[in-house]
Amino acid sequence: MMDLRRLFGSRTASAPVARERLQILLAHERGLRGQPDLLGLLRSEILAVVSRHVVLDPDKVIVRMERGKTVSTLEVDIEVPNNFERSRAVAAT
């Protein structure tokens, strides 16, 4: 039975796999278009908000997106200086 199926080419029918992979990939990639730099936008807005209260080094704000199968996570890593209370006072004046 297996040999017969091989003979008739079911083993080599890889096109359905190609089609499915493309459909999934392109659905994802098309979703990203038009909002090309979501992370960049998030980063600059987060930086603007936090800078109202704390003096920050813009290079120390890292925004990362992890895409999982069921859940995606947005990681925001902001390094604040040790004299953060003082810089706050400076920022307020």
Cβ-based neighbours of 35, under 8 Å, separated by 6 or more: 41
Burial level of 54, CB count in 10 A (0-12/13-18/19+)?
middle
**Least distance to another protein from the beta carbon of 30, Å?**
7
Is the Cβ of residue 14 or residue 73 nearer to another protein in the bound state? 14
The interface with another protein within residues 6-35 (CB under 8 A) comprises 9-10, 12-16, 18-19, 21-23, 25-26, 29-30, 33-34
Is the Cβ of residue 29 or residue 77 nearer to another protein in the bound state? 29
